[in-house]
Chain A
Amino acid sequence: DTAVSQTPKYLVTQMGNDKSIKCEQNLGHDTMYWYKQDSKKFLKIMFSYNNKELIINETVPNRFSPKSPDKAHLNLHINSLELGDSAVYFCASSQDSGNTIYFGEGSWLTVV
């Protein structure tokens, strides 16, 4: 069983569209994250959720919004996509915010 799963793995879409990436973890962890890895492979945290409460928002544009229906899911919604949003987006989870982080396989987003 995949511990952290995210869908879709690949997404190609046009500028201005709205898209979502889903994430689910079956580890029973309390904290989930979204990371963005840019073309230079630099990984930067976007959001983290702990027990359905947002505890980090790293100054990402408000076009990006995390949605957590329950502690096993943290979906990423992106409105009005821009070319610069093209990147790999990783979902992750940990037991709490100071423990080992488990990553999903990534979602490759290309905005054309």
Chain B
Amino acid sequence: KQEVTQIPAALSVPEGENLVLNCSFTDSAIYNLQWFRQDPGKGLTSLLLIQSSQREQTSGRLNASLDKSSGRSTLYIAASQPGDSATYLCAVFYSSASKIIFGSGTRLSIRP
């Protein structure tokens, strides 16, 4: 069964800290993996997309890594800011089944 898990479900850190969010998936035959951000009452905003052949992607203070062999991806946020407070979701796309599976998200709170 293809599952995507995000731990922890919630995380609170003081402003300025670097932090890592985790995503694990049971089936490593992925096509790509995407990280999204969801603000309360809003839709999802794509942050980074990593193809299965890539090891990492970077955008500003965000860095996403992918280790297919261990079924893991991490989202690294540098120098966190209160505006980073949101729920972060990872989603795995399996091309063999044209299926996208989302994790349940990590709710991040950055304390000023």
Q: Using a CB–CB distance below 8 Å, which chain A residues touch chain B?
A: 4, 33, 40-45, 48, 55-56, 90, 92, 97-106
Given known pairs A55-B98, A106-B42, the reply for A42 and B93 (CB within 8 Å) is: no
Contact A42 B34 (CB under 8 A): no
Q: Given A97-B95, A103-B45, 13 more contacts at CB 8 Å?
A: A42-B102, A45-B99, A45-B100, A90-B43, A92-B43, A97-B93, A98-B93, A100-B46, A101-B36, A101-B46, A101-B91, A104-B43, A106-B42
A101 partner, pick from B31, B34, B42, B87, beta carbons under 8 A: B34
Q: B87, A56: Cβ atoms under 8 Å?
A: no
**Contact among B31, B41, B44, B49 for A103, CB-based, below 8 A:** B44
With A and B bound together, what is the CA distance between A45 and B41 in angstroms?
19
By secondary structure, the B interface counts as strand
Which B residues are within 8 Å of any A CB, using their own CB? Answer: 31-32, 34, 36, 41-46, 49, 87, 89, 91, 93, 95, 98-100, 102, 104-105
Q: Is the CB of B98 within 8 A of A56?
A: yes
Complex: A55 Cα to B70 Cα, angstroms: 30
Give A104 to B43 CA distance when docked, in angstroms.
6
Query: Is the pair A40, B104 in contact by a Cβ cutoff of 8 Å?
Result: yes
Chain A proximity of B75: nearest CB distance (Å)? 15
